[in-house]
């Protein structure tokens, strides 16, 4: 863990004032980018974010259970309870034969009251 982050938690009132999601996304891009080099064999990062993204946009890929008690006050990744692991061979085949109609492009309509769409997401 980098000690640098501690500085952002010294004043409790200021914690929520940082664009944490932007930092998280930049970190994710960087780690995914690093992994794409042939000599790197390790993916570092918050796997929950990537997995949640897959669950939301690809309803037919990956094994999970939708939590019936999920409420919009919780982050969307809490909507899913991961199930058995998936074989990479199966997922590759699924991705190669995936019709566009089986992708969910705007999955968060139900959460807009909690998380309104911000224009900046289009940049």
Partner 1 sequence: MKVVSHGKKINKLGAPHEHIEVAIDMCGLGGLVHASYESLDRGLLCAFVERWHPETNTFHLPIGEMTITLDDVSNLLYMPIVAQFYLHQALDADATNDLLVESLRVDRGVASEETRRCRGAHVRLNWLRDVYKDACSRR
Q: Is residue 66 part of the contact set for partner 1 (CB under 8 A)?
A: no
- 103: tokens are 């992708």
Decide: 31 and 46 in contact? Cβ < 8 Å.
no
68 versus 99: smaller Cβ distance to partner 1: 99
Burial of 9-47, coded b for 16+ CB within 10 Å and e otherwise, reads eeeeeeeeeeeeeeeeeeebeebeeeeeeeeeeeeebee
68 versus 118: smaller Cβ distance to partner 1: 118
Whole-Å CA distances, 51 to 62, 82, 92, 115:
9, 9, 15, 20
Q: How far is the CB of 98 from partner 1 (least distance, A)?
A: 6
What is the footprint of partner 1 within residues 10-49 (CB under 8 A)?
10, 12-13, 15-25, 28-29, 32-33, 35-36, 41-49
| Among positions 2, 39, 68, 69, the unique one binding partner 1 when judged by CB under 8 A | 2
| Among positions 66, 67, 90, 104, the unique one binding partner 1 when judged by CB under 8 A | 90
Q: Is 108 left (phi over 0), alpha (psi -120 to 50) or beta?
A: alpha
Q: How far is the CB of 99 from partner 1 (least distance, A)?
A: 8
| Among positions 68, 69, 96, 113, the unique one binding partner 1 when judged by CB under 8 A | 96
């Amino acid at each position: 863990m980098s000690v640098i982050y501690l500085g952002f938690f010294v004043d409790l009132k200021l914690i929520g004032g940082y664009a944490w999601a932007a930092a998280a996304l930049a970190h994710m891009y960087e780690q995914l980018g690093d992994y794409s080099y042939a000599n790197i064999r390790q993916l570092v990062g918050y796997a929950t974010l990537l997995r949640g993204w897959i669950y939301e946009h690809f309803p037919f890929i990956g094994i999970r259970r939708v939590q019936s008690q999920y409420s919009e006050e919780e982050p969307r990744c809490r909507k899913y309870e991961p199930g058995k692991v998936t074989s990479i061979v199966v997922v590759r085949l699924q991705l190669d034969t995936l019709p566009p109609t089986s992708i969910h492009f705007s999955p968060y309509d139900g959460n807009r009251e909690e998380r309104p769409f911000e224009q900046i997401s289009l940049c």
